[in-house]
Structure 1
Amino acid sequence: MPAKPPLEGLKRSIDKHRAKASRMPRDGFLRETFALPRPQARAKAREWLERWPKQAYWTEIESWCERPGDMIEFTMRRLPSAD
């Protein structure tokens, strides 16, 4: 009876695929959350909207809230490509 092949490589590959799939939301949008002082938050949002225009990437501020110390926590979202 032949010896069983090692399955560690297959197990690593499956684990890597599952980890990647769990990070990518099902709706296809890429999201990034920031917590910055108000002026830097405005600059970061402007940077995203200039780099990935809303018309092509559906870029938007998905959610935001004020934190103590004039900090703004917000999540930007966009499509990965303009196709």
Structure 2
Amino acid sequence: MSIRLGNSCINCENLVEGNVCKVHAVTVGNSYTCDSFEMKAALKDEQNCISCIRYETSDCANPQKAAPGMSCNHWAPQKASA
């Protein structure tokens, strides 16, 4: 099974400390995945206004309601890589 670009290894339960894939025993980047990809079973609580690229900008869908800790359907990450 080859490693390829696609879903993120950062969300795979096979990623261990040091960005090492425990299935392939190689160092991988956050933008890689493979056929052995297994989604981590964890809640993501970092998706809120503070981590949204639109927070306090003219692109914010809910500028009157946006506040730390709040989330909405228009959330977008501040840091994204392809």
Classify the TM-score, shorter chain: under 0.3
By relative contact order (CA 8 Å, sep 6+), the higher-ranking structure is 1
Give the TM-score normalised by structure 2.
0.22
Structure whose CA Rg is larger:
1
Q: Whose strand fraction is larger, Structure 1's or Structure 2's? A: 1
Q: Whose helix fraction is larger, Structure 1's or Structure 2's? A: 1
Give the TM-score normalised by structure 1.
0.22
